[in-house]
Amino acid sequence: MCWCLSIIELKNARRNIEITELDICRKPTYTDIIIHYTSNHPYDYNLAAIIFYINRMITTPITYQAIGQEWCKILTLAQNNGFPKHIIHKLKEKLITNKTRATQTHSPHNNTVRYGLLSRSTAPPYIRSPIHSEKLVLKIAFRPTNTIFQQLTLKPKNNNPSGICQLKCNSCNRAYVGQSGSTITVRHKEYLRYIRNNNPTSAYAMHILHNRHEFGPAEETLKLLKPCTKGTKMNCWEALYMNMHYKQGLLIPQ
């Protein structure tokens, strides 16, 4: 004979007088609907239910047959909610590895015992436990970064960044392309100073002076082609835009 007793999420099945087996129980009203993989929730929220089911499977003392059945149910649940199979298999391997590592590194002399969000320790910040003499440490398990406040808060737009800039000649419509580690308006003032001081440092200044062409204010001649910071990426973007202007015949000779 077989007697079954369902307790919360476990099912106690007694095959005979000597053998008692545990199995994972699901209510008759159970549905395999969780947060979909393509949902706009934070990624950790999408994986929370799958992680819980896998953790329950590997930590509950059930038979290998029950583990196989539960794993098939988890895969079906994940597939019905859009989760790729390789992500579920990687999660299982990671959780099993973490469990094995925690078992191997567990020491009875360790004075810190963690329970979810609470942990007993002697390190601050803490609150005094009303039952035990140890101190309870409160820690945040997860804090999302994609909040409503961040979505509604208007971030100031930098209209004067550093990056790849273009300086146009008002007479021949050719342009000088170069990079600026500082703001582009500061760089434009430097070019104007080179022109006024007859400084041959800048190719743009030499083009204006030798050909006696016209130059104008930043609103007419200055244009930001690509905002970026100083480094290898800026050098690559500069070479790309210089090549584009050269093929179009618009580049001032450097």
Q: Per-residue pLDDT tens for 39-49?
A: 888 888 889 99
Same domain, 175 and 115: no
- Do 244 and 193 form a contact (C-beta atoms < 8 A)? no
Same domain, 170 and 239: yes
Residue 253 lies in a domain: no
The pLDDT profile of the chain, 254 residues, written as one tens digit per residue, is 444 544 455 555 555 555 567 778 888 888 889 999 988 888 888 899 999 999 999 888 888 888 999 999 999 999 999 999 999 999 999 999 988 888 777 555 554 444 444 434 444 444 454 555 556 667 776 666 667 777 777 666 666 688 888 888 888 888 889 888 888 888 888 888 888 888 878 888 888 888 888 888 888 888 888 888 888 888 999 899 989 988 888 888 76
Same domain, 16 and 72: yes
Give the amino acid at 9.
Answer: E
Residue 113 neighbours by CB under 8 Å, 6+ apart: 119, 120
Q: In angstroms, what is the C-alpha Rg of the chain? A: 33
Residue 188 neighbours by CB under 8 Å, 6+ apart: 165, 167, 218, 221, 222
Same domain, 122 and 217: no
H-assigned helices in 9-81 = 43-59, 64-80
* Residues spanned by the domain of 124: 108-144
pLDDT for the residue numbered 120: 40
Residue 152 lies in a domain: no
Query: What is the spatial distance between Cα 223 and Cα 169, in angstroms, rounded to a whole number?
Result: 12
Per-residue model confidence as pLDDT tens digits over 181-227 = 888 888 888 888 888 888 878 888 888 888 888 888 888 888 888 88
Query: What is the spatial distance between Cα 88 and Cα 81, in angstroms, rounded to a whole number?
Result: 12
Q: 144, exposed or middle or buried, with CB in 10 Å at 0-12, 13-18, 19+? A: exposed
Same domain, 63 and 122: no
**176 in the Ramachandran plot: left (φ > 0), alpha (ψ -120 to 50) or beta?**
beta
Residue 200 lies in a domain: yes
Per-residue model confidence as pLDDT tens digits over 80-96 = 999 999 999 999 999 99
The alpha carbon of residue 86 and the mean position of all alpha carbons in its chain are separated, in whole angstroms, by 19
Same domain, 89 and 20: yes
Same domain, 94 and 184: no
